[in-house]
Structure 1
Amino acid sequence: MKSGKPHNSLNGLLVEISKIRRNKSNELLSGTGIHAGQDILLYYLDLEDGQTVSALVEKMGIQQGTIAAMIERMVNAGMITKKKDASDKRISRVFITKKGKAAHQQVTDTWRKMESITAKGLSPIEQAQLITLLEKVRDNLS
């Protein structure tokens, strides 16, 4: 690894691909006001609005403090709101706003671009094979 690039092991390639993908995604989102990780939060809220903070922590696989800072930043930006649960005041729920829905559309557009970039040069059969293999890798790690 003297060249600074991971060797072509499975782990090395996954690390390199993850880093490149994150950087490219951040580059594409840079003009939108959406910061790293916020795209994932918007994605989960679009799937199910009003989730608890603890459910989002689990789904996103990040620390409570990290998501608390992210939520505060996104509340201040008007993309989401955070409210106490009506039946249990110890629980906070997070809701996407109209501005957040518009931001999520930008995320969706960016993710489509990322998928197109990622699949460039792959035949439909190769894309299906790659998806199947990555699902196996995901399942192995879950």
Structure 2
Amino acid sequence: MLSAVNIYEGQDFLLYRLWQKDGQSMSELAEKICIQQATMSTMIRRMEANGLIKKVTDQEDKRSSHIYLTAKGKAALELAGKIGGELDDVTVKGLSVTERKTLDELLQKVMKNLE
């Protein structure tokens, strides 16, 4: 579903992390979304080529770069959120309100464990 808006596997997580805190280093992002540095470099290169993000060299430490969302990246993240909402509706279809609440509580605990 996300490929329709030029977002591919894992890129939505990176966009979301930048939305939370723009201007993070590649190593910070790799750690937060649990991927290898080499994978992060490839992802950054592809996303920059698609205009979703921009990489800016740190002026104090030329070896380091920071990643920023572009307007196109923000728009793509918004669309990804809408797609995610639609997917959520399909995923919990047939669950009672109580079951949905329980599922949400359990998933929140899982997410906390992954932070």
| TM-score (normalizing by structure 2) | 0.89
1:65 is aligned to 2:7:
no
Structure 2 CA distance for partners of 1:141 and 1:67, relative to 1, 3 Å: closer
Separation in structure 2 between the aligned mates of residue 140 and residue 132 of structure 1, nearest angstrom: 13
**Number of aligned positions between the proteins:** 115
Unaligned runs of 5+ in 1: 1-27
2:68 aligns with 95
Separation in structure 1 between the aligned mates of residue 114 and residue 44 of structure 2, nearest angstrom: 28
The code of the aligned residue for 1:59 comes to K
CA RMSD of aligned residues (A): 1.7
- Which whole-Å deviations, capped at 9, do the CAs of 1:36-74 have from their partners, x for residues lacking one? 111111111111110111110000000111110010001
Unaligned runs of 5+ in 2: none
Structure 2 CA distance for partners of 1:37 and 1:122, relative to 1, 3 Å: same
- Which whole-Å deviations, capped at 9, do the CAs of 1:83-107 have from their partners, x for residues lacking one? 1123322221000101111111111
SS across alignment from 1:49:
coil
Question: Alpha-carbon deviation of 1:137?
Answer: 4.2
Structure 2 CA distance for partners of 1:58 and 1:29, relative to 1, 3 Å: same
Separation in structure 2 between the aligned mates of residue 34 and residue 140 of structure 1, nearest angstrom: 26
Separation in structure 2 between the aligned mates of residue 140 and residue 69 of structure 1, nearest angstrom: 27
SS across alignment from 1:90:
coil
The code of the aligned residue for 2:94 comes to G
Q: Which has the higher contact order (CA 8 A, sep 6+)?
A: 2
1:30 is aligned to 2:9:
no
1:78 aligns with 51
